[in-house]
């Protein structure tokens, strides 16, 4: 995290997954890594915007998401291959926890708690300098 600009750039994730018996560990790792990337994009960039009459983020220019050249953080996936229960889904597991993990990392690094996503540089700087927040 760059405290001068408010830019947040995750470099490493560790995810433990317990979704019951795992028949394809490589496929599960791919699901988790893809979810981390999508969750990171949601946490740092993606936002639906609107004006008084309609949604204004209607295409890939106005709705921000990671570009294809985004440098993926390292992801360590710990698979708990539990054989005692049923197979459970793991499709969106990592997407949902990633924004919270990033928010907690920002809090851990700065003691500033962001209450809305995405954690844009502007929102990070406003949280770091609440007296300068214009809202």
- pLDDT surpasses 50 at 14: yes
Residue 78 lies in a domain: yes
- Predicted structure pTM score: 0.85
Residue 3 lies in a domain: no
The residue segments making up the domain with residue 88 are 12-129
Residue 4 lies in a domain: no
Residue 124 lies in a domain: yes
Q: Give how many domains the chain has, as a whole number.
A: 1
Q: What is the CATH number of the domain that holds 77?
A: 3.30.365.10
Residue 7 lies in a domain: no
Q: For 80-111, write each residue's pLDDT tens digit.
A: 988 888 888 887 889 999 999 999 999 999 99
Which pLDDT band holds residue 46 (cuts at 50, 70, 90)?
very high
Which pLDDT band holds residue 135 (cuts at 50, 70, 90)?
very low
Which pLDDT band holds residue 79 (cuts at 50, 70, 90)?
very high
Residues 4-7: contacts with CB within 8 Å, 24+ apart? 5/121, 5/125, 6/120, 6/121, 6/122, 6/123, 6/124, 6/125, 6/128, 7/121, 7/124
């Amino acid at each position: 995290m760059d405290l001068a600009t408010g830019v947040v750039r995750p470099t490493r994730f560790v995810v433990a997954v317990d979704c019951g018996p795992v028949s394809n560990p490589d496929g599960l790792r791919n699901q988790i890594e893809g979810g981390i990337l999508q969750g990171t994009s949601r946490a740092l960039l993606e936002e639906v915007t609107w004006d008084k009459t309609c949604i204004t983020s209607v295409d890939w220019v106005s709705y921000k998401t990671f570009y294809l050249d985004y440098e993926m953080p390292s992801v360590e996936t710990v698979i708990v291959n539990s054989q005692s229960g049923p197979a459970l889904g793991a499709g969106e597991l990592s997407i949902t926890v990633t924004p919270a993990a990033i928010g907690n990392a920002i809090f851990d690094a700065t003691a500033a708690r962001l209450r809305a996503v995405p954690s844009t540089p502007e929102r990070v700087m406003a949280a770091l300098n609440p007296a300068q927040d214009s809202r």
